[in-house]
Structure 1
Amino acid sequence: MKKEGSRGFPLALTAVIVILALIAGAVMLFKDTAPPVVTISPDGPELGKATQVTVAAEDSGSGLKSLDVAIIQKGKRTVIATQTFPDGTMQAGETIDPAKGEIAEGEFTVEITARDASIYPFGAAGVTTVQKNYVLDATPPRISVQSHTINLNQGGSGLMVYTLSEPVAQTGIRVGERFFPGYLQPAGDNTYYCMFAMPWDTPPASFKPLIEATDKAGNSATRAFSYHANARQFRKDRINLSDSFFETTIPEFQGLVPNTGSLLDQYLYINREVRKQNRDKLIELGRQTSAVMLWSGVFARLPNAANRARFADSRDYYYQGKIVDQQTHLGLDLASLKHAPVPAGNTGTIVFADFLGIYGNVVVIDHGLGLQSVYAHLSSMEVTAGQSVSRGDIVGHTGITGLAGGDHLHYEINVSGTPVQPIEWWDPSWIQNNIASKLQ
């Protein structure tokens, strides 16, 4: 006869049941031996009052059981949030907001403790504690204006000198949608120089320049300053287009223009879309600048040259007696002898020497602080990018490349990519009153 258990079950069957129960228990015990994963962001270490700390916890095994958030500051540990979770919670998070006032300015540590629902061994394996150190800076930078009242002409330039109470991530002067960066000077006293413009398309009533500063913690400050803005009137000009001009000019833009439509269609694409692309490139080059002034004194003018198109001329383009386009001429056109040598306006570094769409062959010289001079429509270029030049050095020769109707030099002065009135930079009195006096 077979042996039976106390309730009539065969002993072998009882043993099997016990073994299965032990296996099931072992599976439950060992199925989750990995603790929760915890992340804390941002990386820091500097935080502003408006910057929140985000905590994320995840456990893909038995799920999360609880999440504790603590702040450690000046030797004191304070739990500011505790969460417990129902079964099956795999992900959870918490946000720490410095604006609530639970954290004082200065150094502090975020400590996160996450527990999962595992039982091996007795829950000890299912705990993760993570710490991250931060510095809370809730005070925006203080801006101190050093320059006296700035006199600006519509379309002209200005220089602002100011100091900040701390090193910053970004600073400069904002004029509407345009931003002119300020550049930290090497004296070590947090002094910034900022070249900026009263743009040609911004009349005095719309001109509201503000110094901006944002520190590394994200705190921002703005400050107005004293200035006097002078309105200027700009000329209107008429450009007559012809098929012969299209046939001469458009082939130079091969590869830049869709090879479809009429000659007029292709020309208008150049005058609108390629022009915008070229302007964007000059803005990009305006950020490739020295943080210190490279120039000194007045700028050199193309010798013995007559003024043709003026700065900020509003141009109406006519074809077969009808207006087909309107653009603004953002430089001076200077005409001298054919292939006349072109001198560098002032000391600086070549940041571009290549073909640039409507400008043809172009040389761009950086003079520091975002101030750059542009020499366009050149027949030849005598310099290369990275080369240093002095005032009067020959950078190229006049020509008819790009959208030029005759041999001449298109000359621009740009401030952080925004075109300004070049004539100011040829005037020693203007240089003294508006630039040199600010630096004394």
Structure 2
Amino acid sequence: MEVQSKSGFVKIIGLILIIFFLGGGLFILSSKDFERNKPVVKTSLNPSWNLNGDFFIYLKDDTGIKDHKVSYEIDSKKHFLLAKMASLSECSFVNQEVENGICLAIEKPNISTKDIQSLNLIVEVTDKSKWNFFSGNKTLENIPILIDTKKPQLAVVSNSYRITQGGSALVIFRAEDENLDKIRISNGENEFIPQPFYKQGYYISLLAWPKNNPTFNAKIYASDTAGNVSIASINFFAVKKEYKKTTISLTDSFIDGKISSLVEEIGERTLTSFVDKVSIFKYINEDIRSYSEKYIMQAATNFPLEKIEDFQIYAFSPLKNAAVMASFGDHRTFVYQGEVVSYSHHMGLDLASVKQAPIISSNQGEVVLDAFVGINGNTLVLYHGLGLSSIYAHLTKPLVGIGDRVERGAIIGNTGSTGLSLGDHLHFGVLVQGHEVWVAEWMDSKWIENNITKVIAEAKGIINNL
């Protein structure tokens, strides 16, 4: 009996141990702490380095990174490099919206660029997993890197002679590099993205000098994947311009009428949520105006960077027999009961003829915005190519919609008084990569010929002779 009892006890203990080990095994296999995925190492496609600054690599693991080492070998001797944490924005080759890892900045090696044309970076990474007897999962990655110290070739081919404050200009240039990465144009405050032009290695861009920018300093920046940067100045003759200044007295009837009804139409806030009449006006003139400008700018900057073979644009004339009611660039100061309460800049041209007059598209284009937009009311934005758009606001009713292709001479809508408007009229504007510019230039066929058409023709002639 005693032997049987001991035998039964041993079986129970054995069963318990089996259950324990099976349960432990299942726990290990299913536990996140024992995950078996190796760390991921990422770099830019076809990585290159100019050895003037840091080189960036991206590390990611489900359980986190426990240790990492970066080295390279020369003459069979391993040299370790310092790797420090960097902002995720530095690892621009990674989609940061879906990735969640760390970016490392690798210090440059102490070697002469004359002695080396490529470098094999050795990256060793261990994660925090308890797999492999608590030692973690390991990744060993060899990253061949091209050593590139040559800057991109950058040269202006042709450009508009002058640019006026508030106005536009055109530039065509050459940018070449085997590892060309980014090209941008700056006016000193704002950036513009060029498009490929005519033949390989050439680019074209309109750029603006926004009315509220006090200075203008145009430069082209070209960088390659190794971090080499070339800068070329664009020698425009920059002309400052004074715009009209107007003082407008606000009345209670205006705020209680048009302004209050627009607040209710927008529906974002109730009239009772404002402390006084001035705050109602400031909400429309400042908050809703800012929202409207950003909304329109977003629509006007979302354009394809397609190759430009040629660009034909006609002088804009959207309303027949129209009178100018308000000009571009007007700086308005609003006064209520003798005190200055708000400001605004009128960044278009107000035209009026008869009520609900037909609005004509002077150039072919695509409708990229058809919406009620704050102070602008019913608004259309047409994209004409080369980063150039036109805006038509306060419409009674648009006759085209988003995605429609509009031909030159087509009627696209009728004037009205929707939004912040005291009477039936058209607010017309022109935008260069989302920046509102001096409308008068784009309504002048001679200006277009001298600053757009002839510049493109000259550039083509130069390129063909090279």
The two structures have a TM-score, normalised by structure 1, of: 0.77
Distance 2:381 2:35 in 1: 60
Picking from 268, 276, 286, the partner of 1:256 is: 268
Distance 1:330 1:68 in 2: 54
Q: Structure 1: 5+ residue runs without aligned partners?
A: 1-32, 84-92
Measured at CA, do residues 405 and 67 of structure 1 come closer, stay the same or move farther in structure 2, by a change above 3 Å?
Answer: closer
The residue matched to 2:448 in structure 1 has which SS? helix
1:278 aligns with 2:295: no
Distance 2:331 2:81 in 1: 66
Give the Å deviation of 1:71: 4.3
Picking from 173, 186, 192, the partner of 1:180 is: 192
Give the Å deviation of 1:201: 2.3
Is the CA contact 1:345–1:373 (under 8 Å) kept in the aligned structure 2?
no
The residue aligned with 1:231 is: 240
The residue aligned with 2:462 is: none
Q: What amino acid is the match of 1:230?
A: V
The Cα RMSD (Å) is 3.6
The residue aligned with 2:55 is: 52
Distance 1:399 1:208 in 2: 40
Is the CA contact 2:167–2:210 (under 8 Å) kept in the aligned structure 1?
yes
Measured at CA, do residues 67 and 239 of structure 1 come closer, stay the same or move farther in structure 2, by a change above 3 Å?
Answer: closer
Distance 2:282 2:259 in 1: 12
Picking from 151, 165, 186, the partner of 1:154 is: 165
1:81 aligns with 2:90: no
Measured at CA, do residues 39 and 402 of structure 1 come closer, stay the same or move farther in structure 2, by a change above 3 Å?
Answer: same
The residue aligned with 1:435 is: 452
Q: Which moved more, 1:217-226 or 1:273-282?
A: 217-226
1:406 aligns with 2:408: no
Is the CA contact 1:36–1:115 (under 8 Å) kept in the aligned structure 2?
no
Give the Å deviation of 1:370: 1.5
Number of aligned residue pairs: 386
Aligned counterparts, 1:3-402, within 5 A: 40-49=41-50, 50-54=53-57, 69-71=71-73, 78-81=77-80, 96-98=106-108, 100-101=110-111, 107-112=118-123, 129-148=140-159, 150-166=161-177, 168-185=180-197, 187-203=198-214, 206-246=215-255, 247-253=257-263, 254-257=266-269, 259=271, 260-261=273-274, 262-291=276-305, 292=308, 295-402=312-419
Is the CA contact 1:295–1:348 (under 8 Å) kept in the aligned structure 2?
no
Give the Å deviation of 1:314: 0.8
Q: What amino acid is the match of 1:426?
A: M
Pick the structure with more helix per residue: 2
The residue matched to 1:45 in structure 2 has which SS? coil
Amino-acid identity (%) = 29
Distance 2:116 2:419 in 1: 58
Distance 1:258 1:77 in 2: 75
Distance 1:277 1:105 in 2: 53
Distance 1:367 1:35 in 2: 54
Q: What amino acid is the match of 1:46?
A: P
Give the Å deviation of 1:379: 0.8
Give the Å deviation of 1:318: 2.4
Distance 2:342 2:166 in 1: 23
Distance 2:436 2:81 in 1: 58
Is the CA contact 1:290–1:369 (under 8 Å) kept in the aligned structure 2?
no
The residue matched to 1:229 in structure 2 has which SS? strand
Is the CA contact 1:290–1:367 (under 8 Å) kept in the aligned structure 2?
no
Distance 1:94 1:252 in 2: 52
